[in-house]
Structure 1
Amino acid sequence: MHPTPDVMAVETPRRIPVGDLTVAYTDSGEGEPLILVHGGESDRGQFDALRPFLGPGIRAISYDQRDTGDTVNSDEPYTIADLGADLAGLVESLGLDKAHVLGTSFGGMVAMHAALDHPERIQSVALVATTPNRSFTGPALDRMLELEPAARRAFMLDVLISPQGQAENPALVDRARSVLTPRSDEQNTRRNNAVAAHDCLDRLAGLQMPALVVQGTDDPLIRADAAEEMAKRIPDARLELINGGRHGIATEFPHLVAGIVREFVHTHPTLQ
């Protein structure tokens, strides 16, 4: 059985200018600053289940990316590198010298670019269920991108949560559905185009901060060898595999992911 936390009631989002954006974010806890970067189908609420397991000593900050939730941006196209610059800009706008970053899936791609292009703002990086480029994706990704939004949301449940998790925990199923965020066709197109151009595989050896890679062994969207390849290329990276985990490991196994991340963050503190 998977423990189901009492998902915290999040506050009304705060808003902060970051470049030309108005970024909506949620900020809770005190201690090591940890920026939580949501996946391609989600928004900042994706991490509501993870927060209770992070424990004391961590300030958890989740935010809405462009074309997501309550963040306001123009209709101009953008790249994953642009989103990485937004992330670094958020760290600066919050008045932080550096922050730890945890990115899942699409958010992991954003975290990679932030760490590579703006290392002065990133203390450590945790890459969860993500990939350095499209070559490590399974057929489920192409199928997902072909679907209309309503069909995509239904398809994503099996991508995110294991059959055992779905059978044993109805609350988990409801939570997985709740993190899937509606977007307009134009918003989805901008995000899909950004993913299609994402490729930083050959740059990973240049990551200069502590790195953690976490992956489910049964992820139908991103193959486990993506994590193995990233851990091999990133200097001194730590690799953690979650047996039986699918793409939504931070939702299905928040206790495991949070425990791994908590220990990692406190091993590499910004606060001395």
Structure 2
Amino acid sequence: MRTSAGIWWESTGAGAPVLLINGLGSTSTSWFRLLPELHDFRVITFDNRGVGRTGSSPEPFDLATMAADAVAVLDAAQVDRAHTLGLSLGGLIAQELALSYPDRTESLMLVSTHAGIPHLTVAASAVATVAALPPGERSRALAPILYAKQTPAAEIARDEETASVIPTTPEGLRSQLLASTTWDRYADLHQLAVPTLVLHGREDRLVPLSAGEKLAAAIPHADLVIIDNAGHRLFTDQTTTSAAALKSFLAQTTLSTAQPPQPPPRG
């Protein structure tokens, strides 16, 4: 299905809505490990502007536009508010969504992400160089910094095979990268008033743990959960452990939002 803005999306399952926002250059096929873990929820996935079935945009775009695309997906799915999970670049989009459309965000799950390129020690130019490579070479070049050292090669190959079904063009990847490099709302993060989980792999070499710690510290009452033996692709490195952290957070959040406020005790 497509939104009026041409964004491809789909919805599976029933229950409280959970919106998943992909990372740089990834399509919704990348969620294949996590989707079975979220069977108790209505999960909404989509292909960001620039990739997959949504396709490349002829004009440059920014993260505000990508957040508006996510809202268009919620509108098309007839969802007022959703628990929003953003991975890597998707985490930046999720932050922009929560800041610009606070009435559409039930909670935030920020995975393997950061507070903007200016607050990240990894140079965007290095990623841009890799972005120019053909898809197969790109995957091989990125693998050493995306996964934990002990992750089986077969699991990495499975990720690459899934991604190759709908390959991302270098042009689409560069457009998304450019959108991310101009985004910085670190000074506004204190405004976030929704339950927030920051989930990070201890061995993340693309977005170091220190960036996740800085992000969690900037958001009021955010929970920081660190996954051992996991890198940037922690849903591949430690599928069960990382999914369990998400489900625990969602269980607590859905329970608290489902319960009506209690009247103060009478003195």
Same topology, TM > 0.5: yes
Tell whether 2:10 aligns with 1:33.
no
Whichever structure has more strand as a proportion of its residues is 1
Seen in structure 2, the aligned counterparts of structure 1 residues 24 and 271 have a Cα distance that, compared at 3 Å, is farther
Matches within 5 A, 1:121-160: 121-139=104-122, 141-147=124-130, 148-150=132-134, 151-160=137-146
Amino acid at match of 1:123: E
After TM superposition, the score normalised by the length of structure 1 is 0.86
Aligned partners of 1:251, 1:25: CA distance in 2, in Å? 23
The aligned runs of 1:74-223 (5 Å cut-off) are 74-139=57-122, 141-147=124-130, 148-150=132-134, 151-166=137-152, 170=154, 172-180=155-163, 182-223=167-208
- Give unpaired runs (5+ residues) of structure 2: 260-267
Q: Distance in 1 between matches of 2:56 and 2:174?
A: 15
Aligned amino acid, residue 95 of structure 1: Q
* Unmatched runs of 5 consecutive residues or more in structure 1: 1-14
Question: Percent identical across equivalent pairs?
Answer: 28
Contact 1:215–1:227 (8 Å) recurs in 2: yes
Residue 37 (structure 1) shift: 0.7
Q: AA paired with 2:144?
A: D
Bigger radius of gyration, 1 or 2?
A: 2
CA distance in 1, matches of 2:149, 2:202: 14
The answer for the alignment partner of 2:41 in structure 1 is 58
1:267 equivalenced with 2:252 (yes/no): yes
Shift of residue 246 of structure 1? 0.9
Report the aligned-residue RMSD. 1.9
Cα distance in structure 2, aligned partners of 1:166 and 1:144? 24
2:97–2:105 contact (8 Å) kept in structure 1: yes
Q: Residue in 1 aligned with 2:265?
A: none
The letter for the 1-side match of 2:30 is Q
Q: How many residues align?
A: 252
